[in-house]
Amino acid sequence: MTAVLARSRRRVLPLPGSLGAYAVRRLGLGVAQILVVAVVVFLLTDRLSGDAAVVIAGDDPDPAVIAALRTELGLDRPVWERLGAWLGGALTGDLGTSLITGRAVTAVIADGLPVTLLLAALTLVVLVPLSLALGMLAARREGGTADRVVTATTIGLYSLPEFALGVVLVTVFAVQLGWLPPTGIGVAEPAVFVLPIVVLLARPVCSLSRLVRAGLVDALAADHVAHARRLGFSPRAVLWRHALPGAVTPAVQQLARTTDWLIGGVVVVEAVFVLPGLGTALVDTITARDVPVVAGLALVLATGTVLLNLGADLLARVLTPVAS
């Protein structure tokens, strides 16, 4: 009953041609979501055992020194006061300064962003055509050899930890064969990104290509596709124009979920290949209890999540205007 209700409501609310209105509404929701994530992260980082003063004091854990450091860093102020000050600054584009290094948080983000953006963008650029190709290959003849191989591989490799795959690939292609650099240390050539992107692709390709396959198998058996065939459209036109658009909607929606994996994957992959991106910065600053930097990085990651989600949802709406 609830399912029926939800569906009819979805059909009524967005007026025809209101893609822009929908985008604006989703963007508003997204901004709220980003704020919630940033606040939660700020409070959580603050709750971690030990704080930046203890980390800076390091080998000299003299209580008096730590207390002085706390006063200097403003850590003796109540957490709500610091959160308020940080949020106020964030609205004007000032994310504060690192407690450890004193650098502006925006500078830390600017340092790591290019590497992470490049990794994510290259992964997405390869991911979509590769998943489509694998899904179409498998769906062309259901139960055939190609289908069995693709399906078994994508089921088996689903949610394989990136670091395990990463070190095995490094051992084969960097240590044994010497074809590719093992890490990003001291290397400034495109080859650095080959293994990280292969590793990042493994997880989303499995789920996306399976959804493309499932959608396409259904679509190819659907009445409207059979009708298009009877009308004499070429097999290629039937596949690309009639079967595919409707068939990939679940995969496009899954693309939104992929963002979450991509963020997790980027953190791990940057650690495996020692790449100086946002993920490395995040792990380092959490260890150092550097609250403003962690919150700033979370803000960037949450923004990325919201934007990619929005992109995927808009794409799904364009492909199937009725279903969304």
Shortest distance in whole angstroms from residue 241 CB to other proteins? 27
Tokens 């990939």 -> residue: 248
The residue (of 131 and 207) whose beta carbon lies closer to other proteins is: 207
Tokens 């930097």 -> residue: 293
Q: Which stretch binds other proteins (CB under 8 A): 62-70, 76-84, 161-169, 243-251?
A: 161-169
Answer yes or no whether residue 64 interacts with other proteins by CB under 8 A. Answer: no
Please give the DSSP secondary-structure letter assigned to residue 173: I
Cα–Cα distance measured from residue 96 to residue 9, given in angstroms and rounded to the nearest whole number: 44
Cα–Cα distance measured from residue 293 to residue 100, given in angstroms and rounded to the nearest whole number: 10
The residue (of 47 and 236) whose beta carbon lies closer to other proteins is: 47
Report the residue from 123, 151, 209, 324 that binds other proteins according to the rule CB under 8 A: 151
The residue (of 13 and 29) whose beta carbon lies closer to other proteins is: 29
Answer yes or no whether residue 28 interacts with other proteins by CB under 8 A. Answer: no
Cα–Cα distance measured from residue 174 to residue 215, given in angstroms and rounded to the nearest whole number: 38
State how far Cα 66 lies from the chain centre: 38
Cα–Cα distance measured from residue 78 to residue 85, given in angstroms and rounded to the nearest whole number: 11
Answer yes or no whether residue 312 interacts with other proteins by CB under 8 A. Answer: no
Q: Which stretch binds other proteins (CB under 8 A): 66-74, 79-87, 150-158, 241-249?
A: 150-158
Radius of gyration of the chain (CA): 24
Angle at 251 between CA 247 and CA 255, to 5 degrees: 155
Tokens of 311: 């992109």
For 271, half-sphere exposure in the C-beta direction (CA atoms, 13 angstrom radius) is: 14
Report the residue from 68, 121, 168, 318 that binds other proteins according to the rule CB under 8 A: 168
Stretch (H or E) spanning 279? helix 278-287
Answer yes or no whether residue 36 interacts with other proteins by CB under 8 A. Answer: yes
Answer yes or no whether residue 117 interacts with other proteins by CB under 8 A. Answer: no
CA dihedral sign of residues 51, 53, 55, 60: negative
Shortest distance in whole angstroms from residue 119 CB to other proteins? 14
Report the residue from 114, 133, 158, 240 that binds other proteins according to the rule CB under 8 A: 158
CB 182 within 8 A of CB 171: no
Answer yes or no whether residue 27 interacts with other proteins by CB under 8 A. Answer: no
Cα–Cα distance measured from residue 197 to residue 126, given in angstroms and rounded to the nearest whole number: 9
Strand partners, 104: 97
For residue 104, the SS3 value is strand
x/- contact string, 239-278, with other proteins (CB under 8 A)?
---------------------x--xx--xx--xx------
Answer yes or no whether residue 142 interacts with other proteins by CB under 8 A. Answer: yes
The residue (of 158 and 179) whose beta carbon lies closer to other proteins is: 158
Q: What are φ and ψ of residue 181, in 5° steps? A: -70, 140
Answer yes or no whether residue 53 interacts with other proteins by CB under 8 A. Answer: no
x/- contact string, 273-292, with other proteins (CB under 8 A)?
---------xx--xx-----
The residue (of 239 and 302) whose beta carbon lies closer to other proteins is: 302
Cα–Cα distance measured from residue 102 to residue 290, given in angstroms and rounded to the nearest whole number: 10
The residue (of 1 and 64) whose beta carbon lies closer to other proteins is: 1
Interface residues toward other proteins, by CB under 8 A? 1-3, 33, 36-37, 40-41, 44-45, 47-49, 142-143, 147-148, 151-152, 155-165, 167-168, 170-171, 175-176, 182, 260, 263-264, 267-268, 271-272, 282-283, 286-287, 294, 298, 301-302, 305
